[in-house]
């Protein structure tokens, strides 16, 4: 089996590859070849170095998507994207990477199949940003997509393309609408949603974090571990069970920022909570006000997708996976 990961240097991409290294048959067959793609150099997993090739390329640039399709991978994970805040700040870059790059990849696969029959499984990282206010109390899969950000618009268009290319038989695609992933490891990025992780991640290691919104802001969350599970399950799922509606909202946890903070207090103590500094940001508050807050994910759950049920669990997963299982600050 040949597996291609586009966006392999990103947080989810790295964790997905780590999971491959832990078990080469995790996708239902032995991974004999692994191709890793990003715009920056991607670390080579030592356990898979003999079967791995890394490419530092931009799929939105002419000819690059065709080169990747020419490798004829069996499973393609398309995770590459400009994050929400950056896509809003840089209109041209957001559309070039998030939409033009995706369309280039989809079409390169289609054209490769015209040379000789070829129909890979393609798993696409979408987002709950495809939905826009006003919302029902819980958003079901039938709720229409009316995004209120450029990022959400780019993802929504890509979802439509994925469904149509799958319908036409060019590839066997499934779109995974990710919740906000929390707690993200590493340093803060340009995502407008980054503060949801920052207010937990930094205090857990004794550093101050800024909260730009009120504590009554509600949002939809899942851990990085759950996100990797989503992609692996999507790659092996019988898509006849999914049918023509190829884009699924993943399960998650609906929680208030205040509930995040209370979970931090239970897990890490009052000292960690005191490291959160309130500093309202009108732009972030405006962006967040247009985001969905709660979902009815019964369709994805019926297909076997699972996520956490409490923020305590999400925080403990971060501690186990990123901090060696212990907290050195708190109390």
Alpha-carbon span 192 to 302, nearest angstrom? 31
Contact 207, 297 (CB under 8 A): no
Comparing CA positions, the residue from 160, 224, 230, 219 lying closest to residue 192 is 219
The DSSP string of 178-240 is E-EE-SPPSS--S-TTTHHHHHHHHHHTT--EEE-S-TT-EEEEE-HHHHHHHHHHHHHS-TT
Determine which one of 95, 118, 151, 165 is catalytic. Answer: 151
Other C-beta atoms within 10 Å of 102: how many? 25
Query: Residue 56 phi/psi, 5° resolution?
Result: -100, 85
151 is catalytic: yes
The Cα-based distances of 313 to 128, 253, 317, 320 in angstroms read: 22, 11, 6, 10
Which sequence positions are flagged as catalytic? 151
């Amino acid at each position: 089996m040949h597996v291609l990961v586009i966006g392999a240097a990103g947080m989810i991409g790295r964790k997905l590859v780590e999971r491959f290294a832990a078990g080469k048959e995790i996708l239902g067959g032995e991974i004999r070849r692994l191709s890793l793609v990003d715009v920056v150099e991607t670390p080579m997993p030592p356990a898979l170095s003999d079967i791995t090739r890394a490419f530092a390329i931009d799929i939105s640039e002419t000819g690059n998507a065709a080169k990747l399709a020419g490798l004829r991978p069996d499973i393609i994970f398309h995770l590459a994207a400009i994050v929400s805040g950056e896509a809003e700040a840089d209109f041209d870059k957001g559309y070039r990477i998030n939409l033009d790059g995706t369309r280039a990849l989809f079409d390169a696969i289609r054209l490769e199949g015209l040379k000789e029959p070829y129909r890979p499984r393609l798993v696409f990282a979408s987002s709950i940003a495809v939905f826009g206010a006003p919302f029902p109390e819980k958003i079901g899969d039938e709720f229409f997509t009316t995004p209120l950000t450029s990022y959400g618009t780019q993802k929504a268009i890509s979802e439509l393309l994925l469904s149509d290319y799958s319908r036409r038989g060019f590839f066997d695609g499934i779109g995974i609408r990710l919740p906000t992933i929390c707690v993200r490891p590493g340093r803060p990025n340009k995502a407008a949603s980054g503060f949801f992780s920052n207010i937990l991640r930094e205090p857990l290691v004794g550093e101050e974090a800024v909260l730009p919104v009120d504590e009554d802001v509600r949002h939809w969350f899942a851990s990085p571990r759950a996100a990797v599970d989503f992609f692996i399950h999507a790659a092996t799922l019988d898509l006849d069970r999914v049918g023509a509606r190829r884009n699924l909202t993943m399960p998650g946890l609906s929680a208030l920022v205040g509930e995040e903070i209370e979970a931090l207090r239970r897990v890490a103590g009052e000292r960690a909570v005191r490291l959160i500094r309130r500093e309202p940001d009108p732009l972030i508050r405006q962006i967040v006000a247009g985001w969905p807050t709660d979902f009815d994910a019964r369709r994805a759950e019926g297909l076997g997708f699972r996520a956490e049920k409490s923020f305590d669990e999400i925080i403990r997963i971060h501690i186990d996976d990123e901090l060696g299982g212990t907290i050195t600050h708190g109390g």
